[in-house]
Every structure is written in structure tokens, then in C-alpha cells.
Amino acid sequence: MSITPFKMPVIPLIKKQAYLNLYEKGLREDGRRLDKPRNIEVKVGVLDKAEGSALVKLGNTQVLVGVKAEVGQPFKDTPDQGVLVVHAENVPLASPIFEPGPPDENAIELSRVVDRSLREVRAVDLESLVIRPGEKVWNLWVDIYVLDHDGNLFDASMLAVMAALETTTLKDYEELETGEILVKRDSPGAKLKINHRVVTVTTAKIGNYIIVDPNFEEEIIADYRLVLAFDENMRIVGAQKTGSGGMTLKDFKTALKISKEVAQIYFKALEQTPK
Amino acid sequence: MSITPFKMPVIPLIKKQAYLNLYEKGLREDGRRLDKPRNIEVKVGVLDKAEGSALVKLGNTQVLVGVKAEVGQPFKDTPDQGVLVVHAENVPLASPIFEPGPPDENAIELSRVVDRSLREVRAVDLESLVIRPGEKVWNLWVDIYVLDHDGNLFDASMLAVMAALETTTLKDYEELETGEILVKRDSPGAKLKINHRVVTVTTAKIGNYIIVDPNFEEEIIADYRLVLAFDENMRIVGAQKTGSGGMTLKDFKTALKISKEVAQIYFKALEQTPK
Amino acid sequence: MSITPFKMPVIPLIKKQAYLNLYEKGLREDGRRLDKPRNIEVKVGVLDKAEGSALVKLGNTQVLVGVKAEVGQPFKDTPDQGVLVVHAENVPLASPIFEPGPPDENAIELSRVVDRSLREVRAVDLESLVIRPGEKVWNLWVDIYVLDHDGNLFDASMLAVMAALETTTLKDYEELETGEILVKRDSPGAKLKINHRVVTVTTAKIGNYIIVDPNFEEEIIADYRLVLAFDENMRIVGAQKTGSGGMTLKDFKTALKISKEVAQIYFKALEQTPK
Amino acid sequence: MGGGAKATLIREDGLRHDGRRPEELRPIRMQVGVLANASGSAIVEYGKTRVLAAVYGPREPYQRFMVLPDRAILRVRYHMAPFSTSERKSPAPSRREIELSKVIREALEDVVLLSEYPRTAIDVYVEVLQADGGTRVAGVTAASLALADAGVPMKALVAGVAVGKVGGVLVLDVDELEDSHGEADMPVAAAPDIGLVTMFQLNGVLSEDELDRGLSMALTAIEKIVSIEKEALKRKFEAIGEEV
Amino acid sequence: MGGGAKATLIREDGLRHDGRRPEELRPIRMQVGVLANASGSAIVEYGKTRVLAAVYGPREPYQRFMVLPDRAILRVRYHMAPFSTSERKSPAPSRREIELSKVIREALEDVVLLSEYPRTAIDVYVEVLQADGGTRVAGVTAASLALADAGVPMKALVAGVAVGKVGGVLVLDVDELEDSHGEADMPVAAAPDIGLVTMFQLNGVLSEDELDRGLSMALTAIEKIVSIEKEALKRKFEAIGEEV
Amino acid sequence: MGGGAKATLIREDGLRHDGRRPEELRPIRMQVGVLANASGSAIVEYGKTRVLAAVYGPREPYQRFMVLPDRAILRVRYHMAPFSTSERKSPAPSRREIELSKVIREALEDVVLLSEYPRTAIDVYVEVLQADGGTRVAGVTAASLALADAGVPMKALVAGVAVGKVGGVLVLDVDELEDSHGEADMPVAAAPDIGLVTMFQLNGVLSEDELDRGLSMALTAIEKIVSIEKEALKRKFEAIGEEV
């Protein structure tokens, strides 16, 4: 059951008007232009017990991602591929609107949009994760942990997931006589094979304006958001309109244009991450 | 925890009296006599993705049943039998009193009464469902889906389940060298073997009257309902008093007499279903 | 989420004061001295379908424990040990403060403290539970069923668990050619091997007093309780402060001294249980 | 039901596997007031089947909206202890337990004078400590006794018993073995003092004649069980009398 | 997506595996008012995909606090019947169903005049009876019809369709086979009468040009589907007219 | 505990497997105010163990009835991130997490001046980001700091540390390896400024003398950790001073 949100914080009309007045001048509360994302920080290798990890700060939004690699079984219908699972949690320390409990529809949407954007373009080389076809493959658990929610969890999460995957290492292993796989925890291992680099860019429609990388208050007053996923060849590898406002074709085209430019900024941030 | 219903619609006393006045004349609101069921429509083969299916209309009550046959394991204590699972859901589109969520005590009671009435008399030949004893058998999932609830879900569901089972086809299969069973989805298959035809007949005690096939409002004002299951030899193959009123022996005998006659009407409806 | 209890019965201040006045005189409401437990009754072999069982009455508190032994798999990291599972339930018939549902934090704490106190000192000889190393071992399910809650569930439960384990019998079995283990339900079987006898002693801090074996009302007005587990050599084999009050070192030492004496009383009760 | 007749349920001498005659009850034991906290309680044994019931209330319900303006609501939980069965039962409520909670509630609801306590809840907890057939009917008996022990006004006492058909013979008070290998199991509860059957189920196959005879057997036995209930309650009041 | 091109999705003659042209819809059938209890209902078929929708409300919500002071809340459940898929679907809501319930709610929320009914809830239940691709978009269509049938005021009717890319070709109204083996699936819903896209998702890989063309294809088709909706509603009102 | 002494936990030179002396803490790092949304927050590291804590409130509780008339209620969740452990941890709360949430709540409840905020809730979220032994005690330390950072008035700061016994030797601040293969693990938290032990658990076997000495070791270390807490808080206020 999906229910119209009835507990979201209310942004006073007067504040919304102030935002719109600024947009009219091409500016936002924090001094940004409408088509610019916030400051981006990407740190990788931040967790010792995960095979890959990254912490991303997008303005005040903080997302931590850990990738765990475990030996498991393939899905029955894809015996020649490893398994990639993306999971997101609304950790309640990240926001006053998060309550403890299983992932809600927003967390599920977040993880599924990230998952699809990776999966459809085969960003991770799942074929290279096979240990013994049909029996033993690497299972990659990608856990998105939002630590501080100031809007645009899609882009921040995707940046963190991508950075974490790009620095994920698969440990060496040995096949025992029993058929069991012994993972050598202290081995150097090998880098996970990545086929494509993917980013998502989120724009929001507020009043008559399209802005990029909305913060939390902007999300609250937005009619809808549009999440577009791109690979390094600027193919569109995923999309999701989220939020209940309707979208005109004209606005779609404007959003697409802005998003393509911002995608380059995100790609650069990933490129320049010290590894 | 079973709790006295405290959210059921209240039928005004005056309306209940009107019903009783009609009963006094041997009639019901819809013109039926006390011992007659509503109009019955049975349609089979209504679902393409199920191995058996039926849609039953009993007056305004509509029940859809799908039977899925899948290869699975037998229960440990019955290695020489297939598995039959009956499941009922209160789909919320069927009634304003249904809420989304797992089956409540009424849905569970419905599925268990149907299940027992089939199981005890061995209506379905479970022995014929064995593929490899102790290892591979057909699992039959019988899903009762109430689409419109105007009373007497027991009889409507049992009619739909019986009609669906009688038209269920088990696909041909092949044993692979690995021991796996390959089901040939497009094969003609063979009819499921049915040993007995079963119907249930539900009567209700309202005031001093026993009526058969109660509609929703009649169920609300009834003291209790009595569900009796019969096979084609008119053996009693299941029974359940449901509802909190106490039953006299005299009323039991009256109900049994009426039920036996109505069972014939139900059997005829199954008999005459175009297949 | 652990939440400050906000639904506990409130003991009027005046009653608490009455308790304290009595303590001042070295007495308690039921005539006990501060350092004496209530009357203890231990009955074993009270359940026919369990491999071990005991009913313990500690004053008005009643705890029933059943031990079921089933053949199962060992944990992956302990192939040479059987499996011991301790589970406690707040059966709602035991107290007006228990509601039906899965174990809450108190029931979980109870079972985990009992479990650890047995496990750390290897009270049960888990190695003797191996049937076929790495594959088949005995699983012991120890179910704590509180029937009447008048305080000090820790001590009453541990007494009942210990008495039940000491009288648990493992049935004879046979290895079939298929590798399956056939348990001979009617065989005499052999006693479960116990390495150590363990008791817990619970003291409570109320006002400036330390009392032992608190009843329900004493628990409500206590600042905290201290549970200390001992083996027959008077080693400390487990401990847990429970409740939100802080504890001074001095109080800890007083509690330890009292507890050691009461442990002897509990050991004697176990010793003298007719078997 | 199910299974072939693995055991000889009816011996050559016409007696049952445990030596009972077809219309013979197992030894029945009852005691009320066995728990200190509950408003009322009772333990009931039918042979090796042992059931404990407790009543709390009438009391304000945990969730305030869960009330009726003109009477008390009854809340009943039938639950099996993990150690009550041959294989350990998971403590989570099974579909069977959910159905039987409803069936037991409905077996009691018509005899309890709920209208005496509007806007309250009466909670009945039935715990099966040992299961050897007939747990739901022993549960009704225990619940009825616990209600009486709690002083909840009732039109009449209720008791239950199951009639079975094994090896073609109708038998009273089936145990687990007879239930598993027999041809039918028919749990019945009734309030004989007011002539009402309050629980009626049939799992299995019977002819109309067998159904008739089985029902009569059950009702005769229930009268006997209700008289045992009355003795158990009397014993308690005598005990209280002695204390005074 | 995924999988190799096991089936030939685009035949040598340029037609699709089922004989359709790339821009051809499957046969679409709609009927409103198919359920008696619901305030409004509709059944919609896109080829073998069959979806039933029902609307209850505006009504007081089950949980009283779940309201907004200035408008109705919309509650939407997208659910697949266990027998709707090739392998039986467990009835517990999957993560996919939770996401699609949200996506369908958001596809409707902007067209329903929620401010007409403050402090109430409008419940929309979408049940997939048979799944052969495009269930969410058929679901939006059915839900929009059921809302209209219930007399809930809306700015415009909504309909949905999925565009896919198979064997390099953009195709309209993908079925399950095309969805499983194709390169992209783009579900779109819109209210053409007011020029708004209300659902937009892309699972798969498209160039910018393909995205543009695909969106146009979808919007053209949606206009057609909305006109079929109008006919279905007209049929109902005519039928009522005849009855009068 | 459990397992044989697979690793040599105490080396021949009397030092521990990681080179520490028995009474030596791991390197401890703390920082407060690390999150923007929370009322207060802190990150705490004991060696490789890393725990993040955040405080929200005092605020109106989500469920209105969940209050006390004379003071705030404390709600504490101890939770391990899925990637914090060697094998991925399922995000659903385990029985261990449920117990530790209670134990941490009780370790804080006596020092927070709850009576200052009647009818409100103070929420404390403890997230283990990396687990290498001592997560619950590092959690108490982080929670205490986050409460101070949130400006919630407290009688005193609380900190925690675990004492272990490995190879017959009492050691301070056990890490995961020592915890898994040692003979005892005794987590202790205290508010040394007011002389109160607020958390006390023992998993393992100790003589009375060992218990005494272990408790002293823990309390000495806790004094040291509380002084590190004070420095971390001071750094924050200095930083604010500089900003002004």
C-alpha cells in the first residue's frame, strides 16, 4: 500500500516563495545556480571489513556504501553469472523523518533504481564472478547506508556505490577437495571487473523552474523529481520520475539537457577520487 | 488472538426485522425461498498462466480460483503423495471490510475448511502426483481469490476450487540426467486425477429460521452458520460451525436436510459446466 | 529500539515507603529476611513429550521448562559440538503485563543470560552430542515457559533449566544405510552429560537496601537488579546488571556476598530434587 | 487422518489400542485456581493431553479503540507450547492455531454474559502443555472453568470432547494415535444445561447415520464432563470455605 | 532485460514474434463496473495481460490519524495474484510490488481532485490476474477507469503503455517475452488531455534519440488508449440510460 | 569465547597478539558534531571498532501515547551495519541487538536528567560501522558524547570498556580475536564523576578475585576514556568559539 505522505514537514508558503524569488534571479539559497550540483567529496576504502567502500558527501548529504563479497550460489536462471544485490536502509540517525524498521517504499525505490541503472548496462561484469558455473559464484552485497539526509539520495548513493564497486577487491580462494571454496582473507585479491561507469543525475521541478541536485527542502516543495542514469558514453541507462507531479515534454527536455552537463561533473568527481 | 469482531457494519434492528418478516412468509429480500441458493455461474479455463482455473458467481459473490502445478518435494512423512496447498486471500477489492495484509482468521478458516473437505475424502488423487517417490512430486497450489464478497464464500470457493481442479492439466515432463525434472510448458499434458467431487453447503440461523446460501447482510445478522461438505455419494466429508451462536440438535437436523437438497443443485451446476 | 517502560504498574509511593520501613527492620512483606530467597519447589519429569522437563516454584513464581532433543545439523564453525538453543516466552497467562506476540527485550535478555551462563562454563557437554561429526548432532531446544510471574524470573528459570537438563535423556538411535538417523522413540536412552551445575542469584537495590530474590512488586520499585551466575565451584560464570539504576562498587560487593550464600541454597534445592 | 492403519486401533476383543471401550473417556482431571496472577485459571487433563487456561478481565483493553459500546469483547488465544508435541513446535502462531483460537472463542461467546461489561475485554489464554489428541476440546473445557473461576457470569458451563471413527467404529475421546490413523475426528463442545452445541467440526468422512450417533455420543459425554467441572469448582469453594 | 536473444524477437519480415508491427498495440479490452461492492471498478486487458482495479472511497480512513486537513490521501496497492505468473508468486508483497504501488500512486495523484475531499482516503486496488508484460501500465489504465467509474472527479483520464527496444528496434506495448529478452523497457503513463506525463521509467539502455522517439510513440499510443477508455465509460452510461 | 586458543593471544614476552600490554587500551579517537540533521552526534573509534551515534530530541514521540507524565522516555537502538562484520550481517534486528539496545539504554538512563523534559522522547541511535570487539561499550561512549553534543543535560558523562581474560591473563579493551578465543569478556560502563557503574555484564568464567581486579581495571580505564570525551567536547566548543 503506497500512501500519500501525510507526515512530511511542511515548508511554509512564504519560504517557498522566497525560494522561487531566488530562482527567478538564477540563484539558490546556498548561492548555487539552478543547474549546478553541490560540492562533492568522494572517499574510498573507508571500511576495513568490506571488500569495497566509499563515503560520499554531496553538500550536507552523506552516504556510506559497503560492498561485501561472499561465496554463494548463482540464481537458477543465470548459472553463468555472479549475484549483485543492492540494498538501501533509512538509517534513522540520518534524518528526523526516518523511523527504525524495514526499508519503506522510498528506500526500496532508491535501491531498485540504483540496481537497475547498474544492471541494464552490465556495469559490473557478472560473468567474471563465476567460480564454478551453476554452483559457486561471488555474491556482491552492496549496502547503501544514508548517514545524513539533506536531499538527493539518488545521486549521492549512486556516486558512492560506483566508487565502492570500482575499488572492490575479490580475495583469492582455493577449491577444497570437498568442493567447498576457501576464501583467503588476507590475500591481496584482484580488482572487481567494471564494464561501465554509471552516474544518476536528479533534477526537480519547482514552480516553473528545473533545478539540479535538490536539497531536502527543495525536495519537499518540488512537484516531482526526474532521475536519469548515464554511462560514460552518455547513453541513458535508467530513468525514474519520482513524486506525484505531472511532467511536460518541454520540461523533460530541459531536464535532460541540464542532466547531461551535470553527469560530466559527477564523472569527473569519480575520476579524480584518490584510490 | 481471536477477537470478537468490533468493526463489522451494523445492520439496523429495523432492517433485521424486515428480513424476519419476509422469512415468516417463506421469502427473502431477493425473492428466493429460504432453502434455495442464489443463481450459480461456473466458468472454467479462465486463466492462461494457471494449470487449472475457474470463476464462480453465486449471486453477487465472485470467486476466482487458480491452480498452479509445480515440481517440488513431497512432505517427509508422505513420500508417496503429491502436495496440495489451499490458500485464500481477502483481496481488498472484494469488500469494504477487507484490509490489505496477510490472511486473517476468516481467510485461514475458509482455506482450511476447503482443504480438509478435499483431503479427508481424498478428492484429489495425491498418489498420482508422484514423479520420483520421496524426491519429486507435483505441488498443487490452489489459490482462492475472492473478487466480490456478497456472502457465502465457503460454497462459492468450494465450487470454484472443484471446477478448477477438475479441469487442471499436468504438463508432460522429462527427467534429465542430472535428476532435474524438465516440465514441457507447451505439452498437452494429462488431466489431474480426481477421485471424488465435493461441495459444501452453508446454512445460517437467523432468528428462528434456517436459510441456505446467506448473502452478506444475512451473514451479519446470523447467529451462526453451518458448513457441511458432501461428496457425490452424499457422505459427509467435512463440517464446521462458524459464528458464535449456539446450535440446537433440532436446528442441526433441519440444516442437514436442507443442505442435502442444495448439494444436489451445486453438483448439477458443476456437472453442467461447459469444459 | 529499547524504550523506557511506560506501561508498568505504578507502585504508590506510600507502599514503597512501607517496604523500606520493613527493610529497615531487616524484614520483608512476606516475613523473609533481606538475604533469603522464597520457598523453592523443583519437580522434574513433568512432561511426557519432552526429553527433559522441570517445574519450579519460587514463591508464587512458576516456571516450566521443557527440553526437546532432535537430530539436526551442527553449526558450521563447531562441527564437533551439538547445538543448544535457549528460548524464553512471555506466555500471556503468566502476568497482566505480558501481551501475546514474539519475545520482547525482557524475554530475550532472560534467555540470553541463561544461555550464556550455561555456555561459557560448558555446563552441557556439547561434544557428547555429536552423532556424525560435521553432519548430524543432537539439537537441544530448551524452552522456558513462565506460567506465573511474581518476580525473579532469572533464578526460577535457571533452576528449572538446570533441573530439566540434568534429567534429560537422549534416545538411542540407529544410522540407516541412507545416512539418515532413526531415533528409537521408545528406547530407554542415556542421560545427557552435564559438566557443571549452574545457578543464578538475583539481588535488587531498593532505596539503600540490597535484597535477594525480589518478588514482582520489589522488581518494580528496584533501581536495578544484579544477576550473578555461579557454578558448583563458586566460580562466577556469568553476570548481568539489569534495570536503569547505577551501581556503586560497595553495593556490588554486598550483592556478591549475599549471592554466594543464596547460591548454596539453590544448589541444595537442586541436589535434593527427587529424580 | 491420513496414513494407513499402521497400528491396530481396534483390537480383536473390540477394545481400543489403549484398552478403552469405544464409548469410554480417558481419565479426566481438572483443577481450578492454579495460577496466582490470573483472574481465573484451570488445568485440565484428558489422559495425556494437558491444557492450562487463564482468564484476565474484564479489563480495559490494551488498545482503547478495541471495544464495543454494549458489551465486552472476548479475546481468545489457543497456543501450543514448543515442548507439547513430538517434534518441537515453533512458537510462532500457526494457521491451525489461528483457526482454533477462533473456533474456541466462538464456542464460548454465546454463554458468557458479555453485555454485563460494556467497553471491556475479557482475555482467555489456552496453553497446550502436552498434546495427545483433543487439545481444542480440552481447551474449551479449561477455558470454561477458568472463566467460572474468574467469576465471569455465564449462562452455563461448556465442555468439549472429540468423537472419532477408527477401523469403522465410532469411538469417544480420540487420542493422537487414533486421530492420526482414524477415518474421522469430530470435535464437539456444548453447554448441556441450555441445550446448545457451541463447537462443531468434522475432519473426515461419515455417513449421516454415523454423524447422528457420533453427535449423541459426544453430547452424552459432555454432560458427564460438565459434572466433573462442577465438582472441580465445588472443591475450590469448599477449600475457600475451610480457609475462612 | 538480460539473457541472450533466445527468441527471434524481430522476424525477417520486420514484424514482431507475435506478428505485430513495431508500433502496433496488442488487442485492448476494457470494461467498467465489473464489481458490485467497490465504489468503482474496471477490468483491462492488453493482449494476455489482465488487470482488475477497484476503488473504495472517498471514505473515512481505517486509521483516523492518516489524513490531511486540506485534501484526500490516495492509497494504492499494486498486487499480483499468485496464479498470474509462470511460477506461482508468493502472496506477500515483494519489493517490486512496493515500488510499483508508489509509481502507480504518483501516476494518478496529480489528476485526481484530492482537495475536493479533505480528511478522507481514496483506496485504489490494482490486482494483476494475468501477467504478460506491461502490468503496471495496464494497471494505471484500469485504476484511472475505476476512479472515473467511482465518480471521483479528475482533471483528465490517465493511461499507460510500455515502449521497448528489441533487436535494435523500438516497439510499442512490449509483452513478457520482449521484456525479458529485449534491450530496454520504458513504461510511460500520461494524461494527454492536459499534456502531462505522470509515469516515466526506463529499465535498459537507450540513446538520446531513441528515448525521444520512444516517448513520442508512447504518447501517441496513450491518446489512443484514452479514447478506448472513454468508449468504455460511454458504454456504461448508455447501459444505465437503457435501464432507466 | 569458545574455540581453542587458535591464536597465541599472549606472546612469550607477555604482550598481546597486537603488541599491547595487558592493561593497554587501543588507540581511541572521538569526534562530536559529525552529522548535520541530528540534534547531537559523535563518532568513536576503539582501534578498528568504529561506532557512530546520533541523538534526536527531546521531541514529541511518533506515537503520542508513548510518553510519561513526569519525564522523558529514552529510546535506544543499537544496530550493526551490514558491512560492519566479517560476514555480511542481515539488517533485521537480531536477538543480540535487541538485548544490547536494552543494555545500552539502561547504561544511560540513570545519568540523563529525563525529568527536565516530561512527555517527550529522546532518541539515541547507535550504529556500528565496523566491529572489532567492544562495540557495545564504544556504543555507550558514543551515545554519551552525542547526548552531550545535543545539549541534553546529564549528571555525568558515561564511558565503557570491556575487560577480558585471555590465556589466563586479564586484559583491557579486548578486540574481536581476544573476544572469540578468550576465556571471559566483561563489558563495563560507568559514570566515574558520580561513582556509578551503569553497565555490567560477564560472558565467561572468572574467579571472585579476577572479577574484582577486572572491575578495577575497567573503572581506571573508563576514567581515562571520559577525559578523552571531555577533550572531544572541548575541541568542539573551541571550534565554535573560533567561528564566532
How does residue D2 score in pLDDT terms, banded at 50, 70 and 90?
Answer: very low
Instruction: Name which of D166, D197, D198 to mutate to probe chain B: the one with the most chain B Cβ atoms within 10 A of its Cβ.
Output: D197
Mean pLDDT of chain B: 96
Q: How far is CA B196 from CA B112, B228, B233, D54, in A?
A: 18, 16, 9, 43
D42 to chain C, any CB pair closer than 8 A? The answer is no
- The per-residue pLDDT for D156 is 98
* Third-level CATH fold of A39-271: Ribosomal Protein S5; domain 2 (3.30.230)
- How much is the average pLDDT of F84-92? 95
Candidate from A109, A234, A241 with C-beta closest to E199:
A241
Q: Print burial letters for E209-223: b (CB count within 10 Å at least 16), e (below 16).
A: ebbeebbebbbebbe
Residues C97-125 have a mean pLDDT of 96
Residue of D nearest to B107 (CA): D99
Please tell me if residue C52 touches chain D, with a CB cutoff of 8 Å: no
Of D89, D125, D132, nearest to D104 by C-alpha is: D125
Specify the CATH number for the domain of residue E239: 3.30.230.70
- Answer yes or no: do E130 and B48 touch at CB < 8 A: yes
Tell me which chains share at least 3 CB pairs under 8 Å with chain C: D, F
Residue F6 covered by a domain: no
Given a cut of 50, whether residue B255 has pLDDT beyond it is: yes
Considering only residues 55 to 94 of chain B, which have any Cβ-Cβ distance to chain E shorter than 8 Å? 60, 62, 64, 66-68, 70, 87, 89, 91-94
Chains A and E: 3 or more CB pairs within 8 Å of each other: yes
Please give the residue of chain F at the shortest CA–CA distance from A55: F129
CB count within 10 Å of CB A190 equals: 11
Contacts of C119 in chain F (CB under 8 A): 1-2
The answer to whether B248 contacts D191, with C-beta atoms less than 8 Å apart, is: no
> What whole-number distance in Å separates Cα of residue A15 and Cα of residue A22?
11
Residue F3 has pLDDT above 70, yes or no: no
CB contact under 8 A, F206 and C245: no
The angle subtended at Cα C100 by Cα C96 and Cα C103, nearest 5°, is: 105
Percent of chain F with pLDDT over 90: 89
Nearest by CB to C246, from F73, F196, F207: name it: F196
SS3 B44: strand
pLDDT band, residue C227 (cuts 50/70/90): very high
Spatial distance between the Cα atoms of D239 and C150, rounded to a whole number of angstroms: 23
F4, pLDDT greater than 50: no
The whole-number pLDDT of residue D241 equals 65
Span D34-72, pLDDT tens digits: 999 999 999 999 999 999 999 998 998 877 778 898 999
Half-sphere exposure of residue F144: CA atoms within 13 angstroms, side-chain side: 36
Across the interface, whether the CB atoms of C149 and D38 are under 8 A apart is answered no
pLDDT value of residue E2: 41
**Cβ-proximal residues to D19 (8 Å cutoff; 6+ apart), any chain:** none
Size of interface A-E (CB pairs under 8 A): 117
The letter for the amino acid at C56 is V
Task: From chain A, pick out residues whose CB is under 8 angstroms from the CB of F125.
Answer: 91-93, 100
E88/B contact by beta carbon, under 8 A: yes
Q: Give the C-alpha separation, D9 to D18, whole Å.
A: 9
Contact F101 C242 (CB under 8 A): no
Q: Where are the alpha helices (DSSP H) in C135-194?
A: 153-166
Q: Which residues pair with C56 in a beta bridge?
A: C42, C63
Tell me, yes or no, if D156 comes closer than 8 A to chain B by beta carbon.
Answer: no
Taking the Cβ of residue C122 and every Cβ of chain D, the question of whether any pair is shorter than 8 Å is answered with: no
CA–CA dist D200, B245 (Å, integer) = 11
For D74-111, the pLDDT digits (tens) are 999 999 999 999 999 999 999 999 999 999 999 999 99
Q: Where are the domains of chain B?
A: 39-271
Q: Which one, of F2, D84, F182, lies nearest residue C118 by Cα?
A: F2
Beta strand pairing call for C52-58 and B136-148: unpaired
Name subunits touching E (3+ CB pairs < 8 A).
A, B
Give the span between the Cα atoms of F202 and F188, in whole angstroms.
Answer: 9
Average pLDDT over residues D134-162: 98
Q: Is residue F242 pLDDT above 70, yes or no?
A: no
Asked, for residue D171, whether it belongs to a domain, the answer is yes
Q: Which of B231, B237, B241 sits opposite D199 (nearest CB)?
A: B241
Q: What's the domain count of chain F?
A: 1
The secondary structure of chain F, three-state, reads CCCCCCCCCECCCCCECCCCCCCCCCCEEEEECCCCCCCEEEEEEECCEEEEEEEEEEECCCCCCCCECCECEEEEEEEECCCCCCCCCCCCCCHHHHHHHHHHHHHHHCCECHHHCCCCEEEEEEEEEECCCCHHHHHHHHHHHHHHHCCCCECCCCEEEEEEEECCEEEECCCHHHHHHCCEEEEEEEEHHHCEEEEEEEEECECHHHHHHHHHHHHHHHHHHHHHHHHHHHHHHHHHHHHC
> Chain-wide mean pLDDT for chain F?
94
Q: Is residue F145 part of a domain?
A: yes
E83 vs B contacts (CB less than 8 Å): 47, 49-50, 53, 66-68, 141, 143, 145
Find residue B83's DSSP bridge partners: B139
Q: Which pLDDT score is estimated for C7?
A: 79
- Is F191's CB within 8 Å of C256's CB? no
What does the pLDDT read at residue E241?
65
- Give me the residue from A48, A66, A95 closest to F37, CB to CB: A95
Residue among C111, C119, C168 at smallest CA distance from C145: C111
F205/C236 touch (CB, cutoff 8 Å), yes or no? yes
Please say whether the beta carbons of B76 and B135 come within 8 A.
no
**pLDDT for res E1:** 40
Q: Tens-of-pLDDT digits for all 244 residues of chain E?
A: 444 445 589 999 999 999 999 999 999 999 999 999 999 999 999 999 999 999 998 998 877 778 898 999 999 999 999 999 999 999 999 999 999 999 999 999 999 999 999 999 999 999 999 999 999 999 999 999 999 999 999 999 999 999 999 999 999 999 999 999 999 999 999 999 999 999 999 999 999 999 999 999 999 999 999 999 999 999 988 876 665 5
Taking the Cβ of residue C8 and every Cβ of chain D, the question of whether any pair is shorter than 8 Å is answered with no
Contact call for E130 and B47, based on CB within 8 A: yes
User: Which residue from A minimizes the CA distance to E195?
Assistant: A248
Distance from CA of A233 to the nearest CA of F (A): 32
How close does chain F come to C2, measured CA to CA in Å?
5
D77 close to B (CB below 8 A): yes
Q: Is residue F164 part of a domain?
A: yes
Q: Is the pLDDT of residue B156 over 90?
A: yes
Distance from CA of A186 to the nearest CA of E (A): 35
Cα separations in angstroms, A152 against A162, A166, E103:
16, 22, 18
Please report the pLDDT score of residue E160 as a whole number: 98
> In chain C, what percentage of residues exceed pLDDT 90?
91
Is C240 in Cβ contact with F219 (below 8 Å)?
A: no
The answer to whether the CB of B259 falls within 8 A of the CB of B47 is: no
Indicate yes or no: CB of E105 within 8 angstroms of CB of A244: yes
On the question of pLDDT at F139 being above 90, the answer is yes
Residues with Cβ within 8 Å of residue F80, at least 6 apart in sequence: F89, F97, F127, F128, F131, F135
* pLDDT score recorded for residue A102: 94
Is F35 within 8 Å of A93 when comparing Cβ atoms?
Answer: yes
Whether residue A138 lies within 8 A of chain F, CB to CB, comes out as no
Q: Which residues contact C272 (CB under 8 A, 6 or more apart)?
A: none
Question: How far apart, in whole angstroms, are the C-alpha atoms of residue D34 and residue A176?
Answer: 60
- List helix spans (H) across chain C: 13-24, 105-119, 153-166, 216-221, 249-271
Distance of CA F234 to the CA centre of its chain: 20
Which stretches of A73-196 are assigned E, i.e. beta strand?
83-89, 130-132, 136-148, 169-170, 173-175, 181-183, 190-191
d(C-alpha F139, C-alpha F43), whole Å: 9
Contact B49 E82 (CB under 8 A): no
Q: Give the chain F residue nearest A150 (alpha carbons).
A: F37
Helix (H/G/I), strand (E/B), else coil: B128: helix
- Please give the average per-residue pLDDT across C79-100, as a whole number: 95
Determine the Cα–Cα distance for residues C31 and A185; give it in Å rounded to an integer: 62
Q: Per DSSP, what are the bridge partners of residue F51?
A: F44, F128
Query: pLDDT, tens digit, for every residue of A216-274?
Result: 999 999 999 999 999 999 999 999 999 999 999 999 999 999 999 999 999 999 999 98
Q: Which residues form the domain of E196?
A: 14-243
> What whole-number distance in Å separates Cα of residue D215 and Cα of residue D208?
11
Q: Does C233 touch chain F (CB under 8 A)?
A: no
Choose, out of C89, C146, C147, C148, the residue to mutate when testing the contact with D (most D CBs < 10 Å): C147
Of all residues in chain D, the percent with pLDDT exceeding 90 is: 89
**Quick check: A55 and A108 in contact, CB under 8 A?**
no
Distance CA(F196)–CA(F219), nearest Å, equals: 10
Look at the alpha carbons of B70, B72, B74, B76 in this order and tell me if their dihedral is positive or negative: negative
Which residues, 6 or more positions from B58, have their beta carbon under 8 angstroms from its beta carbon? B37, B38, B39, B40, B152, B155, B156, B159, B213
